[in-house]
Every structure is written in structure tokens, then in C-alpha cells.
Structure 1
């Protein structure tokens, strides 16, 4: 048995201080190997200011980690021959449609592989039941409203994270097996693994007494029931989450074939040379000190968590919290620090490849291209969360300037559509064309993430009418969390969020597409962008 006593002693002493420092009510943490739970513990309380202590059986919402459970359930259905990954989803949902400006009948091109791999083109939120407005709608009502969304890009064009594809995958299981989604997952996945403290069942969650309560100082009223069930609705305990991780570390046991798990981990439509990135419901990344880790994070409705497992050293880590206002998950997270400590404590070399671990092939670098070709890259690019990067020419070289960096990254052009970001671990990017053939996206070949070209539209049509100009707020369950601006500059319409100006191009009466592929819909009351309501009243109540 791996001895991690020194690490767990340090965590036992240090985690209460972290909770106090970041006002986190409670946390549950655990470490496992394929056959043993090395350590698990609960800290703090189930509620802010509460008295009930968190234990290792306390259930937490793990939000988007739900996607790994949903994807695993789909793979079980594939094993049983009830669904196929590459069959059009209209085979299972014959009445489903979706709106697009790119192609005819896109739903007939979508497959379960697209849905689980986030390459179907969906935006992140639906008009009914979202991370911003929860009116108690059902899962079925939520899924029905997906037909009223607009695709951000053509089906299969690239990867873009979205709740909606995962929710539709759950709806397919529900329809094919003619049982509620949560019951299918319980019967085929949770029960065989003995996961009695894990459920998608919203009624069971609401009735559970040993359950952590989400905490968000910006949003005092957080619902327990949410309609995005397959994408974010599961609750689990740290001990059950570790048992689920062991299922993956043990190659699926008898529940799922090893070959189907390998399919689940594999990036479905990789960029050239890409091996790391998002597979089917699970992310594969390289964590320090060079360990390839399967993982997923989750955040929302007052919870943040990380669940990950490294197949080569055979280690799994789970960190669950009931607060969103802290730096203990995500990039450079507590889970990553724990994984690093455990791996280093084995004093074993970490292989760069194995039968279960994909290693990116080295990109093929061609001879430098003329300066005229390098100019194709110059422009603004937007990524998830309204992050803005500018590629500009400086002293005869291209640089990547993200947020006004004092030391912008140098770029090396290695092909007509390929650049290497030299100061960012030599990450390689390629330009992808839009439907008109012009450069429209910048895709990272290392993990598949995409930046959207934010060019000022050349033929934008009539600008936004003055009555739409001004400030709007974005609310989560009635509490203001963000303010955006609509306006016009030199005849071109734009939306500004977190200081980032995103150009708008009219695509129909009262409809505008944004630089990052979303749609501003002024025909709705209130108007929406990416299906998120924009409220004219900018009060904070």
C-alpha cells in the first residue's frame, strides 16, 4: 500500500485553514488506487454557518462531473446494442430540430459522438432551464427548448463545451429505454458499482438529509432541483466518487468493456497531431509533473469540484466543495497539487505513453512562410468566458497579446495556417475557415480549444437602433452577476462584456450573430444573448 501519511497529515492540518481563508463552508477530499481508498475525509459543515459536519458519505453536487457519468451510461447502452455512436440522433429523437445559419437540417448530421464530444455546434444554455434562470421546469421541458437555440458553428467543425449535447444524450437514453434517465443510470451503472450515495434523482436529492448546501455570496437563493440533469444534476459523496474513479482505473470492471472506455477517452474529431483534450464526457490533460490525467471539473449553484484519475501511476483524486468563491479547484487546483504529491511520493518514473495513455504527436513544422501570409493571423480572437487575445505585428514579428500583457508571447509562423506560441509551452495553433472560406477560428492543436475571430463586420447591415443602446444586467435566479452594454461604433453594432467588445452582424430582423458565434435575439422579452436574458433594469436587487 502506498504510504501517503505525510501528505494526509498535512492536508488534515491545512484544509481547515484553507476553508477559513476562502470562506468555504465544507469540503470532502479523497485519494485512491485501483484497489484501495488510501484516504478520505470531510471538513467544515454542510451549510454556511451550519452545525452539521461534512463526512465522507455527505452528498455534494458535482455539477459538470455529471457528464462523465452520463457518457459512461451512453457507452453501456452502446455495449448493449441499443444505441450507436455514429447514428444520426434523429433516429432516436425523430422530432428534434435546431436553428442554424450554416447548413440545412443539421440535426440529421449530429450523432451521439458529436453530443458527448461537444462538437455538435451547440451553445451552452437553453431558453428553458439554465444556469441563469431556473423556474422549476422539468428535464423534458428543458430538452424541448433546445430546438429554439442557434448553433454557433457547423456540426462537427470543432470542439466547444456545451451542456446541451449532454442533456440530449440523456434524453436519448430515456426514450430508448422508456425509463427516466436517472433510473437507467441507477440500474445500469450506479447499482452494479455499489454507489448508494450517488444519484441523478432530483426527488431523492431534495429529500436527502446528509447533503451539502451550495454557497454563493453573490446569489443567496440557489435551487436544489435543476433541469439540466445529465449535464449537471448528479450528487455524490467523496467515498462514492472514489469508487467511481476506481471503476475507471480498473478498466470498467464487468460493467463496461475496456475498448469502449478507450473510445470514451479518445478525442473524437482531433486536430492534426492532437491526442489530449476532450473525449466523450471526459477531459484528458497533462498535469505536473508530466502525468496524463483523465478528469472533469464542475461548478455552479454554489458548488465547485474536481475528479481525476491518472492511469499510469494508478492514482485517483477527488475534491468536493460547497462554495464557488475560492481558488481550490480549476487550474493549479488542490486536486492537482494532491496528485503531484502522491505521484512524486512513489518515486517512480512517469511513462510518456502506455496502452491507455495517448501522447500528442509532434506537429509537422513547415518552412517559414512569407510575411504576407503571416498577416492572415493578425486580428482579435475571443475564447470561452469572453477572454480576448490580439495577434499583432511588432518589429517584424507576430505577438500574442492577451489582456495587455507586459511581455506578450512571441509567435512563430510554421505554415500558411499554423503558428507556434513560443512562450506558452510551444502551443501550436491553426486557422480554421468559416463558411465563406475566410479565417474565422484559431484552434489549439494541443487540446482542441478554439478562439473565435472577432473581426469588425464588413457588411453589417443597419446598426442597432438607438432604443437598444445602453446597459443590461445578467441575473442568476434574480441576483445581478454581470453587466453588458449594447451600442454602435462608426456604424457597426457591438456587445461589450467584461470590457471585451464583441462585434455584431445582423442575420435577420431583430437577430444578430456575435463574433464568438452566439446570437443576440431582440425579438424576445427580455432580449437574450446566447439564450441568457438581458435585463434593462441594472439595479442589483
Structure 2
């Protein structure tokens, strides 16, 4: 018959086994896929953490970044084509700064000036992010539900119901490319343009009245310009006097200090833009998308896209709360094979989403006559890449860059010792604790209120140290400080685990729980 200590030890390992079997249920589909992709790597004892926590880095101190940035200079400069793509500007953002930037080629075939980070390009579908930000801002303010039917705000919107009713389409469906709406307004192919529509929202609704959806809502990923323009118009009609452009200018462009971004007006912006070119080398015509404007009628610069990227990484000015940004950066649906030429495995709001080197990447590409652009975000790594080109993209430059950049940042971050955010009064936390006599841990102040916890070594033969990152009073997160620790379920879940301190008396906490690992009841000795 095992004694009490042996029973407690057995309980610990039973809990660890339970953690193992249930851990995957705690992550979204994309992260679960990433963990499955990592299974072989883990079995081969590759060092952990699998997903290191981003922290400030001096890129000049690591040779890995020298190699990466040299490769980026060589590769992106090679995308310049004197005939059909003479100007390219790009940057790589990490946390709250641009860590690499490149300006290649010339402003036009007749202007030899090199472009700069402030050079203006048309950004096409990157503009679709603007009406989606509007939706999530209204949701954050409690004015709409993401799952409201769009007909609640546009009762005059109807479709032929044979493939689905207008009432079945939610605001989030429209924002996420799963509403089943066609790409463009039904039009006469000989008398009207496919890429521009000179009409009103009411005109659009009249034309859709006898049109079926392309698929039942939420059953298929379908790219649509019509949907985003309609979303912007419907929301503006209900909440900002019908003027979406003015709302976006005030709440996005001015709020984020994007000085070279705005609604496209040829007479005003042509002189400041890199000239766009078609496949054949002819200058691209300048045209207004008119009613489709919110879906692609904006211009911007690489410097402004860097600021825009940081707002989603939550490392600079933001216009949404953390909760809203987290919701906006979620995957919505696994798309059918070949969607957008294979550029997206998932659809988001309004993102095209993929896994690159195990990280979920949310990107938005813009393709206009004579211009192409990409903004690609890696939220879990606080990394983003932006590129603007005065011609067709030719290849998926953003994907290729991130395939190189993500492993470099992950490798460097694995080598950096984690330092916790200091607590205001470390005395409340420091001391020796025991887990029912089977596991003893010590919490110390390593200096300036930075807490460390040592000797929590379940399923390991040697002790290791964790930095405790201040969250709120009585709440800290544990991050393993040691570099290259072995990959197993317990250590991976311990890295980033939340500790809740309680039983506060005599000016100190006398108990804490490790919530992520289901370990409750570490008592002060």
C-alpha cells in the first residue's frame, strides 16, 4: 500500500497525463494544426519553447539578423523589373519599430528618383481592412453584434432565396468572405465596368433583388468586393451619417498618424505617387472605383503600413481593445483547396490566413491595375512585413520573406533569457512553497522587483528557473528562463502559465495555483 507521499506523487503524474490528453482542446484549430506539425520536431528533441514570447531585441547584436537582412536586400531588389515593375518599397516590423526597410528602383521610367518609405502607391484590397475595423469598433462599443443579420441594418436588402436568404447573412459573414455574395454588382458586360460601379447602395440592392447567392452563407470562401463596399455603406448609413470615408479618415488614418494615406483622388495624388505599370510596360490608367471605393480605393506608403501593422500587433497606437483585436485576428473558416490560387488556407476578417513555420499569418494583398501590395501580420511573434510595388507582384513575396524571417526570430528569441515584468511589492510573493510535500519551489526577488521561481521540475531530472511576469496584483505568468530546455507537454504548458496567488494575510500571499497545469494548492512553508 503506497504511503501518503507516494499517493501524492502518483496524483501529480496522473494530472500531468490528464494535461497531456486535454491540452490540445485548449487551442484554436490553427494552433492545433501548428502543434501537430511540430510533433515530429518535438520527438526529435528540438529545443523549446516552440513559440517563444516576443521581447525587445537589439537586432544589431545578432549575426542571424545580418544574414536575414542581407538576403532581404538581395531578394527584394531582384523583384524590380525595369519594364513592368520599376518601383518597390518594403519594410519588416518587429514589435514597435521598423527593423529593416528597403527602397528599390525608381519612381517611374521617366523619373530616376529612388522611392522612399513615404512614396505613395495604391493599396487595393488592403483597404478592405478599414470597413472591418469599423464593424469591430461598433461591436466593441456595444452598438452591434457581429452575428446580427445584415438585414437588421439594411431591411431593403434581399436576394433570390434559392441558395440562401439575405436574413441568413450576418455582419461577420460579410466581413469574413463567407456570405456567399458575388464579387461584383450584377452589370451589363458591354455597357458597364466590372471594376467600378457608378451607383448607390439602393441601386446595388435593386440589382441584387433577383440574384441568387453563390453559395449558402458560411459554406464556402468567396472573395467579394461588393460585400466590403456594402458593409461600409450599410454601417455608415446607420451610424455615421452615411459617410464612411470621413469616419475612416478620423478614426483610422488620423488616429494612427498615417500621414500619407487617404482616399484615392487622381488629381491630388498622381504627382506624389510611384507610376504604376501594366504587364506590357504601359503606364496603368488612373481610375476611380466609385461605389466600390471602401473595398480598394485607397493609397498609402510603406511607412504608414508599418504604423498600421503595429496597431494590430498591439505594440504602438491601436484603435481597438485587446479583446477586439484578438477576435478580429481569428480564423473563420477552412477554405476550399485552391482558394485565391492557393494563397489562403483559412479566411479571416478580412484576412487571408495561412500557417508559415507553424505560426498563424494574417495577410491582406492588394492588386490594382499597375499596383500590388501586401501587409502580412504574425501576431504571436509581433512581426509584420509590408511591401508596395508599381506593377504586378509576380510571386508571393510576403510569404517567401516570412518563410525566412520567422525561423530567424524564433531562433534568436529562444536564445534570449526571459526577464519578467517587475512587481510593485515583491515581498508579498517571495518565499518557499510546497505542493502537498511532493514538490518544493522557491520564489525570490532577483532585483528591482523581478520575481523568479526555481525548482519546479516535474518530469525533468534537473531543476530549472522561471521568470514571473507581472499581470495584475496577485496574478503573474511564468516563463522558463533557461535556453533550449527539452520539449514535453508539461514544460510547454508551463511556459506562459498563469499563477494566481491567494490567502493574503500579514502582508503576504500564503498560497498559489498554477491554473494552466491544474495544480492547485501550493502552500507557503
Provide the TM-score with structure 2 as the length reference.
Answer: 0.58
Counterpart contact for 1:30–1:39, Cα < 8 Å: yes
Match of 1:123 in 2: 182
Q: Hey, what's the Cα distance between the residues in 2 that align with 1:290 and 1:260? A: 24
1:344-378, CA deviations, whole angstroms, 9 ceiling, x for partnerless residues?
33352899xxxxxxxxxxxxxxxxxxxxxxxxxxx
SS in structure 2 of the partner of residue 18 of structure 1: coil
Partner residue, 2:276? 214
SS of 1:160's equivalent in the other structure is: coil
Task: Identify if the C-alpha distance between structure 1 residues 270 and 11 changes in structure 2 by more than 3 Å, giving closer, same or farther.
Answer: closer
Aligned with 1:327 (options 394, 407, 421): 394
Q: Tell whether 2:400 aligns with 1:337.
A: yes
- Classify the secondary structure of the residue corresponding to 1:312: helix
CA drift of 1:242 comes to: 0.9
> Which residue number in structure 1 is paired with residue 131 of structure 2?
70
Aligned equivalents of 1:335, 1:129: Cα separation in 2 = 36
Does the 8 Å CA contact 2:333/2:347 hold for their aligned counterparts? no
Distance 1:349 1:36 in 2: 17
Give the structure 1 partner of residue 169 of structure 2. Answer: 110
Answering whether residue 332 of structure 2 is matched by residue 265 of structure 1, we say: no
Corresponding residue number in structure 1 for 2:234: 172
Query: Does the alignment pair 1:223 with 2:286?
Result: yes
Aligned pair partner of 2:319 in 243, 252, 255: 255
Which of these residues, 348, 354, 357, is aligned with residue 285 of structure 1? 354
3-state SS of the aligned residue for 1:157? coil
TM-score normalised per structure 1:
0.57
Partner of residue 23, structure 2 = none
**Partner residue in 1 for 2:367:** 299
8 Å contact kept, 1:305–1:319: yes
Which of 92, 96, 100 in structure 2 is aligned with 1:35?
96
* 8 A Cα contact 2:174 2:228, kept in partner: yes
SS at match of 1:294: strand
Give runs of aligned pairs for residues 467-478 of structure 1, distance below 5 A: none
When residues 185 and 69 of structure 1 are mapped into structure 2, their CA distance, relative to the original with a 3 A threshold, is: same
* Residue 317 (1) aligns with residue 381 (2): no
User: What's the RMSD between the two structures over aligned residues?
Assistant: 3.2
The CA deviation at 1:313 is 2.5
**Inter-partner Cα distance in structure 1 for 2:97 and 2:142:** 33
In structure 2, the CA distance between the partners of 1:213 and 1:81, relative to structure 1 (3 Å rule), is farther
Contact 1:59–1:197 (8 Å) recurs in 2: yes
Larger radius of gyration: 2
Which has the larger strand fraction? 1
Does the CA-based 8 Å contact 2:352-2:363 persist in structure 1?
A: yes
Residue 308 of structure 1 is matched in structure 2 by 376
2:95–2:315 CA contact under 8 A, matched in 1: no
Aligned counterpart, 2:296: 232
Q: CA deviation at 1:312?
A: 2.6
CA distance in 1, matches of 2:69, 2:335: 40
CA distance in 1, matches of 2:166, 2:410: 50
- Cα deviation code 1:241-278 (max 9, x no counterpart): 01111111117855201111222122335699xx9611
Aligned equivalent of 1:501: none
Question: How far off its partner does 1:334 sit?
Answer: 2.1
1:109, 1:134 → 2: CA distance? 27
Structure 2, unmatched stretches of 5+, are 1-57, 337-343, 415-525
Once residues 266 and 322 of structure 2 are traced to their aligned partners in structure 1, the CA distance between those partners, rounded to angstroms, is: 32
Aligned counterparts of 2:376 and 2:317: Cα–Cα separation in 1: 18
Which residue does 2:213 correspond to in 1? Answer: 151
Shift of 1:63: 1.2
2:332–2:349 contact (8 Å) kept in structure 1: yes
Alignment-derived partner of residue 107 in structure 2: 46
* C-alpha distance in structure 2 between counterparts of 1:146 and 1:85, whole Å: 26
Structure 1 pair 75/226, CA: closer, same or farther in 2 (3 Å)?
same
Corresponding residue number in structure 1 for 2:81: 20
Gaps of 5+ in 1: 352-541
Alpha-carbon displacement from aligned partner over 1:136-162 (angstroms, at most 9, x marks no partner): 725647745652543112223332222
Per-residue deviation at 1:185? 1.0
Deviations 1:180-220 (A, max 9, x none): 21111111122111112112x23377445311333213586
Q: Distance in 2 between matches of 1:116 and 1:267?
A: 12
CA drift at 1:170:
0.7
Structure-2 residue corresponding to 1:198: 261
2:200 and 2:405 map into 1 onto residues whose CA distance is 40
Indicate the residue corresponding to 1:92 in structure 2. 153
How far apart are the structure 2 equivalents of 1:157 and 1:342?
Answer: 34
**Could you say which structure has the greater relative contact order, defined with CA pairs below 8 angstroms and 6 or more residues apart?**
2
Separation in 2, partners of 1:135, 1:23: 24
Q: Structure 1 pair 301/141, CA: closer, same or farther in 2 (3 Å)?
A: farther
Aligned length: 340
Q: 1:156 to 1:29 in 2, by over 3 A?
A: same
Structure 2 counterpart of 1:246, from 310, 321, 342: 310
For 2:188 and 2:273, locate their aligned partners in 1 and report how far apart those are by CA, in whole Å: 23
List aligned pairs for 1:414-453, cutoff 5 A: none
Distance 2:268 2:203 in 1: 19
Richer in helix (by share): 2
Secondary structure of residue in 2 paired with 1:167: helix
